[in-house]
Each structure stands twice: as C-alpha cells, then as structure tokens.
Structure 1
Amino acid sequence: MRSLDVAECINEVASYCNNVSTGFPLIVDTEDYDLFHELISRLRIDVAKKFIYVSNYCKDGSIPDVERAYNNAFSDGVHVLVGLSQACMLHSQIFLEEYLDRAVNETCREHTVILLMHCRDYLHQKCKQDIRLKRRIIFLGNSCNPLPQIIIERNANYAKGKLYDGVGELLSALEQMTNESIKDSLTMSMVTTYSAALFRRAVYSVNQGPGSFDIICKKFPAFSSCVVEENGTELQWQWLKCKLEENNFGKIVAEEFKVLDLEICIGDVLQSNDEYTLWLYWLAIKVMGTDNSYLNIAASDIKNQLDLERSLYFSILSIDVDDSNFRQYYEERKKLLEKIKDNPKLSSQFCNEVGQKGRKAIFYLTNRTHDEQICSMKWLSYYEYSRKEFNYILETNLPQVNLYMDTYVFNEGIIQIDDAGLAGMLTDYFSEYKKQKISNKITDDFLLEVNDIAEKRPYNRILTRLATLKNLQCRDAMPYFVDALGVEYLSYIKNKCKEYGLIAEIRVAHCDLPSITSLNKDFDDFFQNTCRVTKDLDEIKHGVNYYDYEKVKQPIHLLDELAVIDEVLKDIRVKLSQGVIKRAVVFSDHGASRLAVINETENATIELEEKGRHSGRCCPADSDPQIPFATYENGYAVLANYERFKGGHKAEVEVHGGASLEEVLVPIIAITTKPNRLTYVFENDVIEHKHNEKTKIILFCNMPMHKPQLRIKNKFYVGRLTVDNKHAEFDLDDIKRKNRYTAEIYEDNKATGIELEFEIKKKTHEVDLGF
C-alpha cells in the first residue's frame, strides 16, 4: 500500500469525517515520531474533533484502562483515539494484536479516527487478507524510528535521563514523542512501584534499574552473601542505606534493640508491629546470627521480616515424625503458638506447606484450628491410611466428620416400602458414597453400580416428599427447609440429635425430576409458606464462597456443610427446650452429588439442541431423546449416572439436577425432645448361648412402646411386644459369637439416641458327676 505524507493524510481524515459515516473507524499508522506529532497537531486545529488520550485513563499512575478509552472513542461524535498502540505495546504483542483485530473490524455510528504507532507490519498483513481494509487503513510516511528503552526505577534519585512519574506520565510522553525528544537517548526512566517483571511481555524493552540494595552491597559486600534484594522493599533498603551512611551495621542494631543477645527481645519485637523494627531484627539475625540455633535456622529460610513469625509455625517441619524428640518439639510448638496471637494467615500457610512431609503430614496437625482440619481433610484424600490410622485421624483431628462417616442403616420403615433388599442397597451405597467423597476417588466397582442404578432407577418405588410429609403428620410442626440437604447427612444428623438429647424420626423420600429447586416447591403450599429457609448448604455446593473444584479438588467444603446443618439443629434444640415449638421437621428440595463432579466426564455422544443446564445434569428437551442412563421427566432429559451433557458448565463444588441417588433422595426428619422419664433397659443383658438355641433378648421401657427396634452392627431387628406393651422380645438369630455388643434403640423408626450394651456368653455344658 502507498504511504501518504501529512497533507495527504489530513485530506483523507477530513474526507472521512466530513462525509456520511462509513460504519467503520479510520486507522492511521506511522513509524515516524515527527510525522505522528505533526499529524496530531494539525488535527487538533479542528475543535469539533474530540481527542481521547489513553494516558488520561491511568488512575494515580496505574496501568491504563485501555478498554474504557477504546469504548469512549466509539461514542457519538467525531473522536480521535491516541495512544492505543503505545498502551498495548506496554502490555504485550498479543494484547496489541487483539485490539488491532477489533479496530479493523469494529463498527461505529459516526466517525472514529485511531492513530497508531509501529503497527505497519501487522496492518499490512491484515490488508493482504482482506482488500476491503485498504479503504479503512492509512499509512503515514516511510521512515521508521526505533522504539525507546524503558528503565523501571523505584527511587527517583537513581534515575538516568528523562524521568517520568508513573505509567500515565510515561504513556503521555510516548504519545507526544518526537525525533528531537529522543535525540540524545532512547532511554526513558519511569518511577513506579511496579516491577519490571510486570512488563516482561511488553513490545518495548523494559528493564529494572539499580536500587538501594545494589548500592549497599557494593559498599558492604558481606550483605550480598547473606541476603538477597527480595528480602526487603526498596523503601526498607533505602532506609538502611541512609543509616549506614552514619554508622556500621553492628552499632545500628545495638542502638535499636539495646541488647546484644537478639533472642531476648523476640517477644517485644513481634508485638511491636513496626515494619522497620521487625525487618531490622530479622536482618540482624541473618547477617550477624544469634546464640540460639533454633532462631538462626528459623530466620535462614524466610524471605522477609513478616515471615519471622511464620518460622514459629514452621520450625516443626524440620523434625521427622519418627524422631525421638518429635513429640517434645510438637508440644513446645503448641505451647508457643498459644502464647502469641493466633495468625490465621500463617496457620493456613503452614497447612499448605506441611505437604512436604507426604503421607506423614497429617500427624503434624491437630484440631486446634479450622485450617488444620481442612488440611486433614485434604490428606485423607491424598493418601491411603490403615483403618486404625483412619479412625485415629477422624477421632482426633476431625470429630465432626467422624460423626458424618458413621454408617447410616436404612430399613423398610425409613424408605417406607417393604423392600429389605433396597434398604440394604441404600445402606451400602451411601456408606461407599461417603468414603469416596472423603477420599476424593471413585472406584470402578462403585461406578458400575451407579450405572446399573441409573438404568433401573429404584428410587421410583419410594414415596414422594409431599406424601411423606402427610404420613408424618408434620403440618403442625415447625418446618425447616434446608436447601440441598441429601440423605448422605443422616448419620451426622442422627448423631448430633443424640448429642443434643433429641429424638429424630427419619424418613426418606424422592424429589421430582430434574432435581432442581424450581420443580420441588410442593412444601410451600403444604406449610403455607411458613418455612424457616436455610440456603447456606446449597450455596456451599454452588461455590458461592471460595470453594471451587477447579482450584481445590479435595472435599474440604464438607466441614462447612456440617457446620451449616449443626446450626440448624442447634436452633431446633433451643426452640424445643424453651417450649417455643413442640416439634420440628427438617426437609429438603433435593440432594447433591460430589462424585458426579469429581468424575469429570462429559459424554461426547450426547448433544441436544439446547446446552445442558445445571452443570449439564439435565437439559430441556421436547421429547424423550432415548439416551442410556437418562430419564425424561417434566420436559427435561435427566442424567442418572455421573456424566454431564456435552456443553454443560462444570460444577464448582457439588451438583444437582440429575437423577443419581444422592441427588434424588431427600430426608424428612421429625425432631422432638427426649422425654425426661424415658428409660430403656435389657432384662437379660448377659445371654448364655447354646449351640442349637436361638439368641433372644428382652427390652423393657418405662413407657408403652409401639414398634421397638434395635440397631446392632448396622442391622435392624424388630421386637415383638409382650405383656403390657412395655416389654419387647427380639430374636437375634445371626448373633451367636461370644462378645459384647452395642444396641441402638429405635421406636417406630425414631432414633431415641439411647444405646444399651449386652453380652453373649457360651453356655457351659453341665456334666452330672453323681453327687
């Protein structure tokens, strides 16, 4: 393409601006600073043209808001945009090309002129690809001036050549540059807090200038062998440089801390909160050392003074858990941390870095902080632990998760149908589901079972939520709606109710499909919109807080899930104990699946007209698409396995909308207080069992029973009422081994929270000796 001179270029711009809008901006590019400057000067004569300089969009010396400047150039009127290429070149070549691509294809209602520098090669290439662009792009002049070099200075006293304060001033200079302004030097210095690393992809050559640290090391070479520049800020090194001009380093330290032994004043220094005092103290340890080897080691691994307190958290990591002194250091660490103010940030960092201990990391943790419990959750999914180790970790580090992991046994009364096989399957299914949620892994066998269930869909035999609410006669109970509460939490709820002295009557129902809130609001009419609503659990699953599976794969969100449920139960306990309510009922709209998220599988063969909603678990469809592992209900195709529809958005934490058991099955829990006078005992808590005899046990209650049950080793036994309905006899035919057993008492599928022990002994054969 032909290059124009300034006069020709002015005529082209005038013709463009004075005629009817072409619908596209006019782009002018040059590589000559004088021509660029002259063109701007002559165009500014026309006051009708509104000039937009990108340099004016740098707030307080910050990086320019290029997008805002660009958009303003396309508002109503005649606009001239200056500095777009210079600002983009400070960023990167890719950033520049993105805006050039937009500019050549942009549409505008009126007239926009974009003045560019050093973009000729790229624009020539665009013109070759599309000859129509030759009408929209003008090249001014043939000469090519070199790009300036930019030096980042953190201190104006060290700058060489012309100095500019911040990105805004530098960009303004680039917009107004002439050949005269760079005659003596192509170097431009900019004082900014930004590091040169921020501009590492810039088209311009951007380098870091010498700082106070370099000057100190040149005068005192010993510093360079002990510390690096990153150990302090430019202001800190400048502060020390000024002091070193009057005294040597030893005298500076002695005057500041008034002691020769630095370890004596560590407490006062850490609590001083003075940045320079703490920095000098840490620097003195690194340069001069102390008599305390522990303090020296702690200081040697940290990069700045703020990490000195961090070393008090991290020094334990230098001791192997199998070392004979580990327990001593472990206890000393706990006592030390108790003496200083808790630092949540450092606690979190410690939990992140304890991973250097690999599988043993979890034994460095306690339940002292929430961070440590989160870290324990991560390690349970990282490594395999023996059953003994796993139980120890849950009991000591994760007591709430220990309650969650307890096996919840489903029976016919709970699922409300006469199907022991289905009840047993659900018991095994959710036990395995929780283990795999904790371990963050899906076994092949479990995935096969999920696929099998996805085709059979046995949940259809279970009653609906509304039918269950009616059966439990809950209309007069205080309704607690907990969004996304699935049956996986039943063990936790049952155990917390036991802890709080509450009786939980639990039923399991199924929600409507797809398992989304909008289709599962039948309870609103049933309770006449009087529900106490808790959405925190659902928000955790949707990643409303910081949880995100793409960032953190481990199920650390479970701790907060349990905390939400616990708060609901505490509220119920208070209201029941105060007599505000006599009965509460907890229920949900749907459950959620963690395993469908960690499965990370998109079925490429499934592609419907509309993209999958709700993380791809369900998708609107006009008719049944006849897809394996999917059902069709309420105008949706709903996946029942652990895949998502093609194009479905990945879930942040957990997912619902599908038809897996954990999404579809919902608990309905009627909660009351335990009667004060309620007593259960075994008449025969020691049973002598003979080989051919049946094992029987008799339960007594001080109040009439209706349907007593015993849960022993995750199996339910139904009693036969006798005498005055205060006695029930149980056949324990499959319990024969000599041992002590624990029985959990249920009444009409209500967990009473009472446990009784009994013992089986082998009956001794008596021999008649003739006496």
Structure 2
Amino acid sequence: MRSLDVIQCINDVASYCNNVSTGFPLIIDTEDYDLFHELIFRLRIDVAKKFIYVSDFCKDDSIPDIEQAYSSAFADGIHVLVGLSQACMLQSQSVLQEYLDRAVNETCREHTIILLMHCREYLQKKCRQDIRLERRIKFLGNSTQPLPQIIIEHNPRYAKGTTYNSIGDLLSSLEQMTNETIKDSLMISLVTRYSSALFNKAVYSVSQGPESFDVLCQEYPFFSGCLSKENGTEEQWQWLLERLEKESFEKIIADEFKVFDLEICIGDVLENNDPGSNLLWLYWLAIRIQGTSNSYLNKAVKDIKNQLELERSIYFSILSVDVDEEDFGQCYQERKKLLDKIKDNKKISAQFCNEVGQKGRKAIFYLTDRTSDEQICAMKWLSYYDYTTKETNEILQRVLPQVFLYMDTFTFNESIIQVDDEVLAGELTDYFTEYKKQKVSNKIQEDFLSKVDKIAEDRPYNRLLGRIATFKNLQCREDSPYFIDAMGVEYLSYIKNKCKEYGLITEVRIAHSELPSITSLNKDYIDYFHDTCKNTKELDEIKHGVNYYDYEKIKQPIHLLDELAVIDNVLKDIRMKLSQGIIKRAIIFSDHGASRLAVINESENGMIELEEKGKHSGRCCPIDDDPQIPYATYENGYAVLANYERFKGGHKAEVEVHGGATLEEVLVPVIAVTTMPDRLTYAFENDSIERKGNEKTKLVLFCNREMNKPQLRVKNKFYSGKLTVDNKHAEFILDDIKRKNKYVAEVYDDNKATGIELQFEIIKKTHEVDLGF
C-alpha cells in the first residue's frame, strides 16, 4: 500500500467526484498535519464541495454530536467530512474503530470524502484483509507527527500551552493543527467544567491539571490540615483563591460576618442563604478552620462534608453522643442554644423526632422544648416507658416546662375547699397529684382505680359548696368574670405557677358542679354575672376532639399541650387588662371538669344501654327512676357514673369525657386574680435558724404592709402565722420541720397566693470542746 502525495490525492478525488458514484465514500488518511491542511486547501478551491467539520456540532461546551456530523456527510451532493477521527479519539479507541468500520463499509448515493488523521495502522490492516479496499482508501504522505497532550484545567490561570475554553474550540484546533504548532508545544490546555475522568478512555493523552484546591493548599498550607477537595466545588475554591490574593482569610471572614464569634450569626446565615451565593459555604468553611465558642456547632460542622447539610447536622449531630457520656449535657445545652437562634425547620424537626427513636428509652433525653414536634414526641415517650420521679422531673423541666408547672403539686387546705376538714383537703391533694401523673403517663394504677371506686360510693363532693355560694364568699359580683368551659381543678397548679410568673396574686376556692356534669345543668353563673362573662370554649373543644385529636388514633395525651396553651392565653389577657387598669379583679371559673382516665380505662357498664347514642360519651343516662347501680348516683333525672366506666351504647369519647361524677369532672375552681401591690416586701427576720435539742422551729415573717391571715406553704403543707406587734410581723411554729437543711416557703395572705417564695435554713450548733491548751 503506497503513499501518495497531495497532487496524486487531488487527482484521485477529482476522478472519484467526476464519475458516477461508486456507492462508497472515499477515505484519505494522513499522519502529517501540513499535508492534511494542504489537501483541505486544494479541495476547497472547488466550491461544489461542501465541507462538514465535526467541531461545528458541539453546543455549549458539550461533546460533539459525531453521529449527526457523520450522517450529514452522506446527504445528496459532494461532501467532505473533516474531524471524524479527532472527535472519536477524544472519546475512546472503541468509538474510533466503530466509525472507521462504518466508513469502510458505508454506502452512499453520491460522493462523500472522509479525511482522517492517525488511522493508518488500522486502515492498512483492513486493506490487507480485503485488497479491494485500496481503491477507496488512500494514504497521504509517509511522515508521522505526534499526537498532542491535552490537559484539563478548571481555572484558566493555571493553563499551559495553547488554551481553549470549550470542547468545540479544542476539536477545531485539532482539525486545524499544523506541524509548526505541534513542534512548538505538544501541550494543549482545555478550560472546562468537566473532569478529566470524562476523557479517561481517549486515544489522546488527557490529564488533569492542578485544581484550585491544590494551588490553595500550596500557597496557604493551613487549609490542607483541616480540609479536603471534596469540601467544596472547583468554582468555590477558585472564588476563595481569588479573594485570598487581595486579603487574608481572617479579614474575609470579618468583612462577611462582622462578628467575633460565628455562632452569633448562625440564624442570619441560614435564613439569608442565597443558593447562588458562597456565604453559607464560607461560613461552614470558617468554622472548620477557626471554630466557635460553641463546641456542638463545631462538631455539627465537622460531621458533614459540605455546607448543604449544616442545618440538618445542627439538629442531628447530638444523636452521635450517648446520654451517659460526660459531655452530653454540654452538647444538649449548646444544641438548644443554636436551635433558639435559627428558624424552626418543620421538615427537619419532624425527621429528627422520627429518627430519635433509635435511642429507645433514652430518646426523650435528646428532645428540647424548642419545637412543637419535639414536645409532642416527648409527651408520647412519657407514655411509652416508665421513668423514675427524678427522671420525669428532669424531662419535664427541660423539654415540657408547661407540663412541669401543671404537674406541680397543688396543696388544698380548709380555706380552699371551704370545709373545715383537713383530712379531706389532704385527700384531694393526693388525688389530683396522682390523677395528673396518670394522665401524663397514659396509664391507670390499680390502687388508684380502687380509690376512685371508693370515692364513687362516699361522694365527698356533696360536702363542698356550689358555684354561686362560692361566688358570694368571694364577693365577686362586680368583678370581671372569665368562664373557661371544662376546666377542672387539675389545672390549679399550672394557673398558680403562671400567675406567679406574671406577677399576679391568686385566691383559690373549690366548688362542685351540678350533676350530671354537663353544661346545660351548670349555667347558674349566667344570671349571677348578668351574662357579662368572657367565654372560652377552646378547652372544651379540645376535649371533645374538635381539633385533630382522637383517642382512637392517638392514644398519647399530646392534647395537654394545647389545653395549657388555651389557659395561658386567658391568663395573659387578664394580666394585660389588670396592668392597664381596664379591670380591677378577674374571676376565673368553669361549669365542670373532665376525665382523661375514664377514656383510657375503656370499660363499659352493661346494666343500662343508652337509647340516645352519642350523648355525653356514656357517662350519664336520662332515666325515670334511680336504677340502683353501684358506683352511680341518681341526680336531676339522670343516672350518673362516678367511677371510670361508661354506659353501654354511649359514643366513645375522642379525648376526654364529662357528664359523670368523678372528682375531676365535678370539682371546679373559682379563682380571683389581682395584681401584686407595688413595693410589696416579705422577708424572714431569721432566715437562718439554729435549733437546739427539742426546740421547735420558729420563723418570724415581716411584711411592709399589714397582713391579715398570713400562711406559709412548706413541702406541700400549710402553716398559719400569729400576728404580732403591728400586724406587719407574724410568728410561725414549724413543729414538724427539724432536720438540718435548706427550705423554700411560699407566702400566702388571706388565702391568696402572693407568688412570693422565701428561703430559710435550719442549722445545728456544733459544740466546742475546751481541750485546755
């Protein structure tokens, strides 16, 4: 197979084009760039020939559409295809062979000339296999020029040799390369977004040039110690490198965030993050390098490879720390501090609450009060597992502070229950303390069920005053009435604690509602207050499942959070109107309470089947005569259950139930609320008491105003004081408090909770022994 010179090739092309089509393309290959271009130059003299360059089939720095270029060369007319071999060699040897095989065997209607480079060895092998191919495969010249080396660059400043900014430009240069250009430099740089991996099978030698991160680490070695290339994109490293040429990294951070500690601006950075900006990435990078005073934020940053997962990592990184590890407490507090600074992400928060379940019983210790999702999750967990009293208090204080105030023990006394019966007051204190624990844990203890059954028979509520009598005792007809539907006495500790927080004084009384404990039979307050009450129905609606709560779907008492929120909103309204002088005193009261335990007990009394299905959830039944049912009373034409059963056929309660005669359904609070007087001062004259022998503990309370009936509540017990001198001093004998310890006393006056707590301490004198020295 002989080699031809340019003139001979031109003659062969002329003969091929001037005669009738052979039905096959004419293929000319050379390995000399100058001969290749001289041939093209001479062929272009004939304007009848249409040249098709594969480089023209590249769009927006994409790889060329070789197939479209190849197909175009076989259209009607005379076509010259240039760049096929160069384009194929950019991809792989197999692609090159595929198109060479097609070109050798392709048929055409008219005339197609294919100009190739550096394909001689493969084409000569084809000719040796089939000698007839020598008539349509020609070889131009004998000299061989080397293939160029291609270097992929992402940053044009590092490019070497001749530089091109797109694959199309590179391919065009390969189509037009001369012996002189290859002699000057074998190296060609392609600046592109693509990685060199795209060309890892190319026939050309293609390598990756130094990337911005590599240059960054060379010029600023401190980056290499804490970062890797995967921590940013090439564009981000390039952007940073360009900025570092003008100012130091520390100055860049100071200019962008304008704070000494990056923890401070976490909320602003996340909220104002523009997807097209490098701000969040720079923030994440700065923490990786410089750190913050918040060690948990440092951990959250180091747990992820880039800034995209920063917000999620702030929520989730704590799951890699066990609650028993020494630094868990610090991680917990620092995480909560961060969550307080950022906007609540409902999606991530819900995901966290779902995945925290992997911690089993310990999951609840990871939750905070920062999001409603976490609080609901905590309420569920309290019913999943049994926690010690210490654990429960820790959980409530940390995660459910409103529930913690609700669970606080409310101590009843004779003044509150309006009956001279200290035993009954103590029983009510114990009853509602236990009731709340079981409502929150969603479990009923057997001994409590027995207690409820006994109370159902004894019915001690009959000894308490009714609502109107209680109103008269408080002399509140001219006060501002606040009616909260279905608010039982279980909420007294919450109300008292919130009033203390808001600087309000409360005076509490307990009354009984009429049976059955339904609204229609407990509207006596309307006439008493001349229908001027501010009515709050939301609490009752929650208990009836007007919202999405439904015991059949969600067994856990998560509705309690909304119940407390309803009451809190009422207290805030009262605080506002008292402080502005719109009202002088508020009276909070209800028509009846409700029972959660009667719902979760899920027990039916089969002695009566209700005809009116859906009425009062089966807690009472209209009937002509007393049916003589154990644990039930007959009042106002109704059989009323006083235990935790419901009559058969009654509609199951969605959340809580009323209509029955349990203490939580029947007893209702009446609370007078006023503001604390200005400059009111209470103090102990002797807050450090030295006890000797069997002496009784004596405290003297001072007030800068005259007191009426001073009391102290210490460890859930009330102590009455004896006024002395000017009625601004009161002496208290705490006969059963003897042990050396520190104590907290809550101050009451005239049966009103002042919201003031004072500390005192009992110490025992150490006897000194004279050794005679």
TM-score, structure 2 length as denominator? 0.59
In the other structure, the counterpart of 1:212 is: none
Q: Which amino acid aligns with 2:618?
A: G
Deviations 1:555-612 (A, max 9, x none): 1111111111111111111111111111110000111111111111112344355557
Q: How far apart in 1 are the matches of 2:339 and 2:727?
A: 58
Q: Secondary structure at the match of 1:395?
A: helix
Q: How far apart in 2 are the matches of 1:536 and 1:633?
A: 28
In the other structure, the counterpart of 2:356 is: 354
Contact map agreement 1:630 1:637 (CA 8 A) in 2: yes
In the other structure, the counterpart of 2:279 is: none
Q: Which amino acid aligns with 1:505?
A: E
One of 511, 519, 522 as aligned partner of 2:521 = 519
In the other structure, the counterpart of 1:656 is: 658
Contact map agreement 2:340 2:370 (CA 8 A) in 1: no
Q: CA deviation at 1:760?
A: 1.8
In the other structure, the counterpart of 1:162 is: none
Q: Which amino acid aligns with 1:500?
A: Y
One of 752, 756, 759 as aligned partner of 1:757 = 759
Contact map agreement 2:700 2:730 (CA 8 A) in 1: yes
In the alignment, is residue 422 of structure 1 matched against residue 420 of structure 2? Answer: no
Q: Secondary structure at the match of 1:470?
A: helix
In the other structure, the counterpart of 1:129 is: none
Q: How far apart in 2 are the matches of 1:269 and 1:526?
A: 54
One of 687, 690, 693 as aligned partner of 1:688 = 690
Q: Which amino acid aligns with 1:584?
A: A
Deviations 1:291-341 (A, max 9, x none): x99668999xxxxxxx99878755654654446786798689768877875
Contact map agreement 1:612 1:620 (CA 8 A) in 2: no
In the other structure, the counterpart of 2:101 is: none
In the other structure, the counterpart of 2:585 is: 583
One of 544, 547, 554 as aligned partner of 1:545 = 547
Contact map agreement 2:336 2:370 (CA 8 A) in 1: no
In the other structure, the counterpart of 2:748 is: 746
CA RMSD of aligned residues (A): 3.6
Q: How far apart in 2 are the matches of 1:379 and 1:716?
A: 35
In the other structure, the counterpart of 2:710 is: 708
Q: Secondary structure at the match of 1:603?
A: strand
Q: CA deviation at 1:763?
A: 5.0
Q: How far apart in 1 are the matches of 2:321 and 2:683?
A: 52
One of 587, 595, 598 as aligned partner of 1:596 = 598
Q: How far apart in 2 are the matches of 1:437 and 1:249?
A: 65
In the other structure, the counterpart of 1:646 is: 648
Contact map agreement 2:682 2:701 (CA 8 A) in 1: yes
Contact map agreement 1:610 1:621 (CA 8 A) in 2: no
Q: How far apart in 2 are the matches of 1:602 and 1:408?
A: 32
Gaps of 5+ in 1: 1-246, 253-257, 275-291, 300-306
TM-score, structure 1 length as denominator? 0.59
Contact map agreement 1:270 1:309 (CA 8 A) in 2: no
Q: Write out aligned runs for 1:76-87 (5 A).
A: none
Change (3 A) 1:634 1:394: same
In the other structure, the counterpart of 1:557 is: 559
Q: Which amino acid aligns with 1:460?
A: N
Change (3 A) 1:579 1:334: closer
Q: Write out aligned runs for 1:216-255 (5 A).
A: none
Q: Which amino acid aligns with 1:496?
A: K
Change (3 A) 1:329 1:504: closer
Q: How far apart in 2 are the matches of 1:571 and 1:591?
A: 22
One of 405, 408, 412 as aligned partner of 2:407 = 405
Change (3 A) 1:349 1:615: farther
Q: CA deviation at 1:395?
A: 1.5
Gaps of 5+ in 2: 1-193, 200-211, 214-228, 237-268, 277-300
In the other structure, the counterpart of 2:263 is: none
Change (3 A) 1:251 1:470: farther
Deviations 1:483-532 (A, max 9, x none): 11111111111111111111100001000111111111100000001001
One of 410, 420, 434 as aligned partner of 1:432 = 434
Q: How far apart in 2 are the matches of 1:337 and 1:534?
A: 33
In the other structure, the counterpart of 1:508 is: 510
Change (3 A) 1:414 1:339: closer
In the alignment, is residue 572 of structure 1 matched against residue 579 of structure 2? Answer: no
Q: Secondary structure at the match of 1:604?
A: strand
Contact map agreement 2:270 2:342 (CA 8 A) in 1: no
One of 344, 363, 366 as aligned partner of 1:364 = 366
Q: Secondary structure at the match of 1:721?
A: strand
Q: Which amino acid aligns with 2:763?
A: K
Q: Secondary structure at the match of 2:540?
A: helix
Q: How far apart in 1 are the matches of 2:533 and 2:655?
A: 26
Q: Secondary structure at the match of 1:429?
A: helix
Number of residue equivalences: 496
In the other structure, the counterpart of 1:613 is: 615
Change (3 A) 1:323 1:760: closer
Q: CA deviation at 1:353?
A: 3.5
Change (3 A) 1:761 1:343: closer
Deviations 1:200-226 (A, max 9, x none): xxxxxxxxxxxxxxxxxxxxxxxxxxx
Q: CA deviation at 1:263?
A: 5.7
Contact map agreement 1:611 1:646 (CA 8 A) in 2: no
Q: Which amino acid aligns with 1:377?
A: M
Q: CA deviation at 1:748?
A: 1.5
Contact map agreement 1:612 1:646 (CA 8 A) in 2: no
Q: Which amino acid aligns with 1:506?
A: V
Structure 1 or 2, whichever has the larger Rg, is: 2
In the other structure, the counterpart of 1:286 is: none
Change (3 A) 1:447 1:263: farther
Deviations 1:253-272 (A, max 9, x none): xxxxx999586599999978
Q: Which amino acid aligns with 1:649?
A: H
Contact map agreement 1:591 1:662 (CA 8 A) in 2: yes
Change (3 A) 1:511 1:308: same
Moved more, 564-573 or 352-361: 352-361
In the other structure, the counterpart of 1:729 is: 731
In the other structure, the counterpart of 2:43 is: none
Contact map agreement 1:542 1:654 (CA 8 A) in 2: yes
